[in-house]
Amino acid sequence: MSSSALILPARRARLIIFDLHGVLVHRPARVGRELSAAEVVAALRDLGVMIRFVTNASSKGPEEIVALLDRFGIPAKTDEVATAGQALAAYLREWHPGSRVLVIGQIGLRQLIADACRDRITIDDAGEANVVVVGRDPGLSEAKLTAAARAARRGAVLLASSVEATVPAAGCCEPGPGHTVSAVEDAMGRRAHVVGKPNPFILEQVLGLGRDVLRDALIVGDTAETDIRLGTAVGAITALYPRPAALVPESAPAADWILDRLEQILLFTGGRDGDDLARAEGICNFQQPDPCDPAPRTVDAILERGLPISTTRRLLPDDLPEHGGCLLDQSHHG
């Protein structure tokens, strides 16, 4: 019999902010009794938890993200969604009204900016721009890099959606915006200012969430450099849900929690009553996963039967008093 300690979250989340790619969509198949992302989100909604969806996708607006989530069985409203493309458009409106903007990215980003900033900025592909905006651009050409370099000589600032090297996609993954941003940075001789995650701008300005609300939020993502760094910046609880075999850079910030199953998020809600830690302890009553036993499908069944938690752990034991965590000794695999 081996024994290990489970550390339960004593800090409750009234708001859960989900990353999309690698967490809710384009995630490898689940195993055994593990709940699907759609079931977890439905259970959270049933518990009355506020939910938001935040993605660094630069070429998609909220309607397309709602449609994507719908394909994975997750209903959402457009005002629950924020994308890095929206953040770039909002940033231009707020900080660069009247500017001439060179857009390097997919057609969706260009359209988002044109729609949101119609009366505020001019899109300029001729290299006379004073702002260069970059998202992932599979069609990046020398002509675009030359236009960016010309804009740099005029003193243009450089804004980027984000700098991930890869993003999860159907089947495996695809190159992220990092390659495009690096090439444009080289052409312009300056570093980009990132407006998507981990910049809190996307939460505060696109979703209108104040710091007081964010302190009671749980941010769940598969990428430490963006999702966890953002959560740390706004004082939220952070949970890393790493992709299998994913490498986490040493420079990445440590998450408060690591999830090996998405349903462990239910531990952060305190259960249906939201009353006390005892409720969470009930959820943590470890049960050996039984591959022949179908997954519980309702919140009550989940709370009653417990979750098959095996490796939930805190990365920074020294932080424990700050968040008021609670240690439980549990016998596993008895």
Binding site for Mg ion (CB under 5 A): 19, 21-22, 222
Q: From CA 306, how far away is CA 44, in angstroms rounded? A: 15
Considering beta carbons, is residue 21 or 96 the nearer one to Mg ion?
21
CB of 222 to Mg ion, least distance (A): 4
The token duo for 33 is: 């009794």
Q: From CA 326, how far away is CA 320, in angstroms rounded? A: 8
Q: From CA 151, how far away is CA 283, in angstroms rounded? A: 57
The residue type found at 234 is V
Q: From CA 66, how far away is CA 43, in angstroms rounded? A: 18
Other Cβ atoms less than 10 A from the Cβ of 317: the count is: 11
CB of 58 to Mg ion, least distance (A): 14
Considering beta carbons, is residue 222 or 256 the nearer one to Mg ion?
222
CB of 307 to Mg ion, least distance (A): 23
CB of 334 to Mg ion, least distance (A): 36
Q: Give 283's contacts (C-beta < 8 A, 6+ positions apart).
A: 266, 267, 271, 302, 303, 306, 307
What is the maximum alpha-carbon separation in the chain? 70
Residue nearest to Mg ion (CB): 22
Judge whether 163 and 136 are in contact, CB under 8 Å.
no
CB of 221 to Mg ion, least distance (A): 6
CB of 34 to Mg ion, least distance (A): 18
Judge whether 267 and 307 are in contact, CB under 8 Å.
yes
Considering beta carbons, is residue 22 or 61 the nearer one to Mg ion?
22
Judge whether 273 and 252 are in contact, CB under 8 Å.
no
